[in-house]
Structure 1
């Protein structure tokens, strides 16, 4: 038996009982806790303690933890930048969005998990989607392809950032992710593939962050080139060169 769609945004917020705690304060504190300690650390009891209030007081404003995560996620979407299409080409706007989203998710790593678990139907999410819609309309996409293009770009960013976040967590937990250690492990585990190992040694960056940045650049260019190839009659701003 299927359940009807439910979201914190589809229900009217309850009015505060007094001049004390507000929902905005709760969401801000939740984001700070998520950033500092991660998704597993969030609980209504712990959040209430940080706010100097009981969990019962929080439940007056937020029905449950899922609602709280929806509210927190929407605040993060407000941080992602997309230029208005009348001041930037679609590729420039899409590039700005991709780098801004990457930086935002790396700054708030819990978003990589929450974004796939909850619907993004809050005001900031819709504002972001509208700017992406305008971007891909300017590119020349029509109909459903507008949203498929936007979804492809967002999926690329999340797909690239997810493994990077996992590697950073492992490094923070004490795992030796230095290049020398990784290469040494590969020598042992993939000894039957000498050509693959030779390539692996040749392409490893001494700085892991540089490697992630280069991989992101390469993938983003491939995504944008692929999207551009899907538009038979691209729309360009006055003076914008053909791609």
Structure 2
């Protein structure tokens, strides 16, 4: 595809797809150009570098999070919906979390999300720094909860790129971790009691607990 027919939107969307499959380490201008049926030099007419491309791709995925109507949605329901939307978005794009540690990721997409999220906690009754702290508390929890899933996805992506046997190494890792955990009585009992539980339950419990705490803070302020 000649550079004249390429658009930045096409490049960013294709970069997101490549990042989803291969992670940040697997992204290259050459591979991107191949997917676009274009020379890598044509991509450089629209994007300065791989780092710039990661920043653009990261900002684009924030637009996937739906913003609840605050005139019709109670603040706790709105906060929960946005938290779950963030969690689901990270699971679709697990490269985003490791990219946060190596790139300054901020643009219109994330600004749109953050602006609405701030409005959620202001609607709850938080003001000034209190609204920002409430917002960051929930955001940090969701990010931390998604970290494990994102890390595993990055590990599996690296195995695929290096030709490793993903399934076999995953089985070996689980077996080794289980063997270590079984040496400790509380971990052994906990593992046996909670086998088969869905990871999403951690998100539900954590959100409910944090929002209960934030509601208690509001009640104290109003007392």
Moved over 6 A (4+): none
The correspondence for 2:205, drawn from 213, 218, 222, is 218
Distance 1:229 1:44, change over 3 A: same
The reply on whether 1:193 has 2:184 as its aligned counterpart is yes
What pairs with 1:1-243 in structure 2 (closer than 5 Å)? 19-167=4-152, 173-174=166-167, 175-176=170-171, 186=178, 188-190=179-181, 193-205=184-196, 210-232=197-219
Task: Report the alpha carbon displacement of residue 122 of structure 1 after superposing the two structures with TM.
Answer: 1.6
> For the aligned residues, what is the CA RMSD?
2.6
Structure with more helix by fraction: 2
With the length of structure 1 as denominator, give the TM-score of the two structures: 0.77
1:16-69 Cα offsets, whole Å, 9 max, x none, are x97421111110110111112222110112111221222222112111111111
Match of 1:109, SS? coil
Quick one: distance in 2 between partners of 1:233 and 1:84? 27
Distance 1:109 1:142 in 2: 33
Q: 1:216 to 1:47 in 2, by over 3 A?
A: same
Q: Distance in 2 between matches of 1:195 and 1:120?
A: 40
- 1:58–1:144: structure 2 CA closer, same or farther, 3 Å change rule? same
Q: How high is the TM-score relative to the length of structure 2?
A: 0.83
Gaps of 5+ in 1: 1-16, 236-243
Gaps of 5+ in 2: 158-165
Shift of 1:107: 1.1
